[in-house]
Structure 1
């Protein structure tokens, strides 16, 4: 009997040891802020309970440009310490060779995702990153102030400029000395590429580089759009906007010191937080158009998860990707963080609509969002974007007109193209 008990106990210990041996310690590289960090840590803890795999979060800088630079260094070195990378929507063509193909592992999921989003992460027929959160910016407006001054939600950039200036002047006269009309992302980084692409595309100025490879940026409509934005700096936008990224813009807005803001959906929930000065006082709408009758443009954003080919724990890493992209996690992420899911069906979800009334209206925006020219320019996209935002920032700063800077940019991009992308 004792021998049987001993044998059974030994077998149990061996089985337990085998299970423990299967558990992996994973590393996930991602940017998180306060609210998203708490959410992600809870989900990683849930994943650990379900799978036995623990996950260490490697916190990345907020700037997507800085993230990309670090990722490229790690991947070029064949770094085995990161098992899952959180990747921007535009990086797929540039980093495709460094990531494993997720097509087979995710085929049951991708059929329910917006086709354009799946396409953005597919390179040469391979799904190199799994979408789990998409993005398209909104036009945030103070509904209380519009009502106070009897103004409608602006439909064009010119109308926005006029309304912002009038309300800003009225509020300052009433004692709100720190009030501004409009805040956006004006720092020289990838975020400015997104903002400026919207100004230009909504004004009929093209998409920097077109899908056929044509460099289209040097045109009168694009130049006029940039000159109009330059006119905002120091008038309806603070001079410091030239250094603003998303969080700096949100900081001004959430303290009640701006009439309008261009920002991503994450700012919606934070703006309605208990410590927000604008809680219950704002709403969102599609971004303005360049002219009456034209359509606004929202840059397609979003984040994905990729497994590097250098990871020694690819099976467990795929489990993590499947968990974080699941219906349940996407739904919780939407409700708690106002992050936009990539699953079309969740835009018809009653719980999400109750928590975020604006979200169902964003479904057609994602179906028709404006992509950055990463698919066309491929591995050269990062340099294209850098040259573009530099030209835009120079214009916003008053260092040359839109026409002058875009003429220089066209020359630079033609040299970079070298005959083909």
Structure 2
């Protein structure tokens, strides 16, 4: 009997004994994302737990935009609503939402020790473990292997290499009759996803992380200006103007339909690109994002999602148990194989079944382990304002409303005002 089957049998046996003793079934509500296969995998995981325990679980989907989702969560929590027991929260939200969340260390029995230490530290606020790591992320570059070979182009090492190759292949494909083909698609809407993309550009050019670890605003520098200037040059050249309203799914739709050479996205898009109905099945490669230049670095913004229990839940113990089930080794393995969601347990990156399903997990382990963090820890509850200011300033540059120097000078002053009131 496999480790997973043994765990299921034991939990099922416990459930039978408990309910024979008259334990009352409860209904829990969990908020899950709906990007890619997220909702389906969440429903499957929660259903497995429900069958083992005898409780019921309702899965509530939320906006795909992280910015909109955070706003919804803040409204619910500010009202001390018990409508949602478990929240799926972004890696940058623990500091902002901590006061509304349960300390899970009272229920974990040390289970958090099996996860990446950096994520456990990220989720620990004032000594309280307010969320368990569920899956981690870092931005990666998807590319069409067949088209790079067709046009004798190399996998890009730098952003300029990407720009040059995108122009060559795009011109060739359009000449061949595909007038909808583009060189590069990414997340350009004014939302948290643009903060992730722009931070990758800036960091890859050695331009820092917006606000440094000491709380100093560092974004207005020549490297950051150079990075944003290059990105702005892509619009109407290798990227469609509509990219300025793309989130993850719009970019994936273009790439997966065969109409783009390169795409920046998260690892979840791999399993979808490899699905039977995908136009690019078996034609896709994945590598670290390009460097800013020869002296730059390959940088992927640290992403990922955690599971947290609301302080206003009336089913705290059961909710914590469901969180432990969903973040367990067995469940993370299932999600990695079926949906290419990055585990937060290091051991799974050596699991042969996982690596067979998602080969680049092994090759890009260091990228996932050492993704560049957004400045959420140092800015605390002010992070939302910091990110909003950053992605709005970036969007102005990309849309041609402002030059990089003008936008970043204004951003610097804005962030310094926020910082003076205390991060």
Question: Is the pair's TM-score, using the shorter chain for normalization, greater than 0.5?
Answer: yes
In structure 2, the residue matched to 1:73 is 75
Q: Secondary structure at the match of 2:367?
A: helix
In structure 2, the residue matched to 1:267 is 269
In structure 2, the residue matched to 1:156 is 158
> 2: distance between equivalents of 1:271 and 1:17?
43
> 1: distance between equivalents of 2:278 and 2:415?
43
Q: How does 1:9-48 map to 2 (within 5 A)?
A: 19=21, 21-33=23-35, 35-48=37-50
Q: Secondary structure at the match of 1:415?
A: helix
In structure 2, the residue matched to 1:131 is 133
> 2: distance between equivalents of 1:91 and 1:16?
36
Q: Secondary structure at the match of 1:265?
A: coil
Q: Which moved more, 1:285-294 or 1:104-113?
A: 104-113
> 2: distance between equivalents of 1:53 and 1:400?
54
CA deviation map 1:6-45 (0-9, x unaligned): xxxxxxxxx9877554321101012224633222222221
Picking from 291, 298, 301, the partner of 1:299 is 301
- Shift in Å, 1:86: 0.6
Kept in 1, the 8 Å contact 2:205–2:227? The answer is yes
Q: Secondary structure at the match of 1:154?
A: coil
In structure 2, the residue matched to 1:324 is 326
Residues 406 and 19 of structure 1: is their aligned pair in 2 closer, same or farther, counting only changes over 3 Å?
A: farther
The alignment yields a C-alpha RMSD, in angstroms, of 1.4
Picking from 50, 53, 63, the partner of 2:52 is 50
In structure 2, the residue matched to 1:165 is 167
Q: Secondary structure at the match of 2:330?
A: helix
Residue segments in structure 1 that go unaligned for 5+ positions in a row: 1-14
- Shift in Å, 1:178: 1.1
Kept in 2, the 8 Å contact 1:271–1:279? The answer is yes
Q: How does 1:106-125 map to 2 (within 5 A)?
A: 106-125=108-127
> 2: distance between equivalents of 1:63 and 1:379?
19
CA deviation map 1:52-100 (0-9, x unaligned): 1111111111111111001001111110111111100000000111101
Q: Secondary structure at the match of 1:181?
A: strand
Q: Secondary structure at the match of 2:264?
A: strand
Kept in 1, the 8 Å contact 2:32–2:42? The answer is no
> 2: distance between equivalents of 1:409 and 1:258?
32
Q: Secondary structure at the match of 1:105?
A: helix
Q: Secondary structure at the match of 1:111?
A: helix
Q: Tell me the TM-score normalised to structure 2 length.
A: 0.94
Residues 288 and 17 of structure 1: is their aligned pair in 2 closer, same or farther, counting only changes over 3 Å?
A: closer
The structure with more radius of gyration = 1
Kept in 2, the 8 Å contact 1:83–1:311? The answer is yes
Q: Secondary structure at the match of 1:22?
A: coil
Picking from 297, 314, 317, the partner of 1:315 is 317
Q: Which moved more, 1:97-106 or 1:337-346?
A: 97-106
Kept in 2, the 8 Å contact 1:344–1:363? The answer is no
Whether 1:258 and 2:245 are equivalent positions in the alignment is no
- Shift in Å, 1:360: 1.1
